[in-house]
Structure 1
Amino acid sequence: MKKFLTYTLLGVLLAGCAGGGREPLETVVDKALAGAERQTLLMAEKYSAREGRLPRTWENGEDVSSDSRWWCSGFFPGVLWYVYENGRNPRVLKYARMFTARVEREKHTTDNHDVGFMLYCSFGNGLRLTGDKSYEEVLLTGARSLATRFKPEVGLIRSWDHNRDKWQYPVIIDNMMNLELLMWAADRSGDKSLRDMAVSHADKTLKHHFRPDFSSCHLVSYDTISGQPHLKQTHQGLSDSSAWSRGQAWGLYGYTCMYRLTGDARYLEQARGIAGFLINHRNMPADGIPYWDFDAPALASTPRDASAAAIMASALVELSGFVPAAEGERYMAFAEKQIRTLASPEYTAPAGENGGFILRHSTGAYPFSSEVDVPLTYADYYYLEALTRIKRRLQP
């Protein structure tokens, strides 16, 4: 499989060299990673003395930060770990440990589903790169905290506890991203129930969240007695019937990941279906960076979402290794287009600008006029993950 991937990527790389004098993909990746290190160090230095604070965005020329309770708290530590992985700079390692420690208390969080984002992106990458046993304890404790949100009668992990007058048991597509923590913990601890929860969640989400064209609604609320959906709608998309871009990317990434972890062919087919829906969508811009919702007007004034593109690119790179060669080449070609666009001056900020964030032009929650056309920590995180995955594949 690794030999196949190397040949596939080499073909994409050579095609890029021959077409229009473009820089080789390897050069694009190396330059992007070098720039990311410079920018991320500036961000880390800026926040190092702000005890307990983590960058969230940069809006109207001002820093917007959070404490560890915000669902995105694990992404900046994760950015530092990816930067360290690619550069092995001791200063970056120091900051990676510092900012990761700021998230540790979330291992006891039981009131939301984002523990996976918070801990696996930070402590998970830290454990992978350092083998620090104290990180393992944090992850195992966090997985057990996340597991308290699973209700056997429903078979899913509850996402939110608010709006109980409207939602009995709300589950959002984003939650697919938090299953990897449970799968890891099941493998490390031997507690099979954690794996069973993750598989049950993935199965019921596959059954009830997706439409025949492989697009996904954002939120499904389940009846707590029957365990069946009583409401399907959006919270952050254009409408209940639309395809909110980041939600589609969460689904693609989540089922690609679950296939890697289980080998279940149903998850692979789901990921392939989602990939086809996204790549071939009539409203996908030519540069590969989606509008904030695929059903939003395809206008120059419609905000894009660089975070959705970064998540999608990272997932496509991984998915390309699980499918036949020709299909894998299509996925890689699209991911390469997205990465080249994100690495361009249009989306990558010059050093010292953009509040220290790497990417520009992401959209958080457009319907609430929240974080529209701004940098976001998770855009940077999945961009660096995509770059890292491509770099690994290009290595002989």
Structure 2
Amino acid sequence: MRNIFKSFLLFSLFFLGCKSEKKEQFNPDKALEKRFSNLLEYQADSLSFPRSYSFEKKQVNKVPSKDWTSGFYAGNLWQLFEITNNTKYKDLAKKWTSFIEKEKYNNRTHDMGFKVFCSFGQGLKHIENQNYKDIIIKSSQTLITRYNDTIKSIRSWDFNKEIWKFPVIIDNMMNLEMLFEATKISGDSVYHKIAVTHANTTLKNHFRKDNSTFHVLDYSPKTGKVRMKVTHQGYNDNSVWARGQGWAIYGYTMAYRYTKDKKYLNQAEATANFYLSHKNLPEDGIPFWDFNAPNIPNEPRDVSAGTVISSALVELYKHTNNTKYLEYSKKVINTLKSENYILPESLNAPFILNHSTGNWPKNDEIDEPIVYGDYYFLETLLRLKSL
């Protein structure tokens, strides 16, 4: 395993042109190998999916499978199996993936893609498993029960009913990948059609003139018209929440992959160009949690936003051959392969990277390791390697 791991990282470092001035003091290969192995050491049950790590409490934040982040840990294990070819990751990935199966019936959430496709979908890349396919189809059947044909969107959240009538968040674009795949698996076009309809509604209403995206749109179930455009995790309703831009870039790049509809590619490029040219994007490529946060440059960074976008831009580069997208992805990886971002060997927690920001308005998971930051970091590595 060690030789395979070193070969992968040597390739990655060579490919990215990574040179470290602190080579004697800090070895990114060794640090990453230790962090990867920490995922194997995590022992818990099906009610304890690792979501983040609190330095203040010195403990892992654990969640049940219904949490929107539950699929990422299994997804990380599947991706580490692909990176290392160590079957220990595969065996553990199968175990944690199985814990999520019951979510296929959970119709109280739009986050089926995050939970089910980041786990079972990753597994299908490595094993031929009809049960995994059946679970993806059932999960897709459950997800589309949240579709409203008047609004022509899938409802995101069920809370705040006293304020919102039918909220749709930009994050929901990420859950469409499972629907596209469900049509490929089953041959039933209903999933693909609903995914396209949702993407078209979001495209029409969610973007500002500068091609940044709002976080939450609330619709009238009676008329289908937009009632309000607000935020839930950004600094304010009109701010540029970094991870939201990532969901948009990734979501429309992915939608173009399945449909070849040029308007999706155009939007992905437009939002990517807005993001890359923003005056508040730091030189190292790791964004502040919100580009309009008031205390920049003394605001928390969001590694998870950076890795979502770095992964998306590798794919966007493949569709456009625009090297600035690839250059950004390489920059993010080079930045993260450093002592400032890779968690220390001494920390016994199933995470790789530090400095993600979850929900700033609620003061929740601020400047901490968060599981989905690791997921899209690993996905970026694999996408770069595939080039």
TM-score (norm. length: structure 1): 0.89
Residue identity matched to 1:296? A
Alpha-carbon separation, structure 2, partners of 1:54 and 1:14: 34
Structure 2 residue identity aligned to 1:105:
K
CA distance in 2, matches of 1:51, 1:124: 19
Structure 1 unaligned blocks of 5 or more: 1-11, 24-30
- On the 8 A contact 2:50/2:350 being kept in 1, the answer is no
Note if 1:178 corresponds to 2:175: yes
Report the residue type matching 1:289 in the other structure: I
**Cα distance in 1 for residues equivalent to 2:296 and 2:221:** 42
| Aligned CA distance change for structure 1 residues 331 and 13 (closer, same or farther; 3 Å) | farther
Question: Would you say how many aligned residue pairs link Structure 1 and Structure 2?
Answer: 369
Q: Deviations over 1:203-254 (max 9, x none)?
A: 0101111001110010000010111101110000001010100000000000
Secondary structure class of the residue paired with 1:162: coil
Cα offset for 1:350? 2.5
Partner of 2:5: none
Q: CA deviation at 1:13?
A: 8.9
Does residue 285 (structure 1) correspond to residue 289 (structure 2)? The answer is no
Q: CA deviation at 1:22?
A: 2.5
Is 1:162 the equivalent of 2:159?
Answer: yes
Per-residue CA shift, 1:332-363, capped at 9, x if unaligned?
Answer: 11111111111211111123426231010000
User: Which of 245, 257, 260 lines up with 1:260 in the alignment?
Assistant: 257
The 10-residue stretch of structure 1 (248-257 or 340-349) with the greater mean CA deviation from structure 2: 340-349
Which amino acid in the other structure matches residue 46 of structure 1? Y
Within-5 A mapping of 1:220-259: 220-259=217-256
Residue type of the partner of 2:374? D
Equivalent-residue separation in structure 1 for 2:295 and 2:326 (angstroms): 25
Distance change >3 Å, CA 39–CA 294, structure 1 → 2: same
Which of 129, 149, 157 matches 1:132? 129
Q: Partner amino acid for 2:118?
A: C
Does 2:59 align with 1:43? no
Partner SS, residue 274 of structure 1: helix
1:164 is displaced (CA, Å) by 1.2
Counterparts in 2 of 1:104 and 1:34: CA distance versus 1, 3 Å: farther
* Matching of residue 368 in structure 1 with residue 362 in structure 2: yes
For structure 2, the residue ranges without an aligned partner over 5 or more in a row are: 1-11, 21-26
Tell me the alpha carbon deviations over residues 307-342 of structure 1, each in whole angstroms, 9 at most, x when there is no partner: 00000000000000111x4xx211111111111111
The ranges of structure 1 where at least 4 consecutive aligned residues each deviate by more than 4 angstroms after the TM superposition are: 12-17, 31-37
339-348 or 279-288: bigger deviation: 339-348
1:110 aligns with 2:107: yes
Deviation at 1:144, TM superposition (A): 0.6
Counterparts of residues 277-356 of structure 1 (less than 5 Å)? 277-297=274-294, 299-323=296-320, 325=321, 328-353=322-347, 355-356=349-350
Residue 16 and residue 298 in structure 1: after superposition, are their counterparts in 2 closer, same or farther (change >3 A)?
Answer: farther
Which of 49, 54, 65 is equivalent to 2:49?
Answer: 54
Cα distance in structure 2, aligned partners of 1:297 and 1:156: 33
3-state SS of paired residue (1:57): strand
CA contact (8 A) 1:147 1:194 kept: yes
Q: Map Cα deviations across residues 75-127 of structure 1 (whole Å, 9 max, x no partner).
A: 00000000001111011111111111111111111111001100000000101
Residue identity in the other structure for 2:364 = S
Per the alignment, residue 9 of structure 2 pairs with none
Amino acid at match of 2:63: S
Given that 1:222 and 1:231 are in contact with CA atoms closer than 8 Å, whether structure 2 keeps it comes out as yes
Is 1:384 the counterpart of 2:381? The answer is no
CA drift at 1:137: 1.1
SS at 2:273's partner residue?
helix
8 Å Cα contact 2:38/2:351 also seen in 1: no
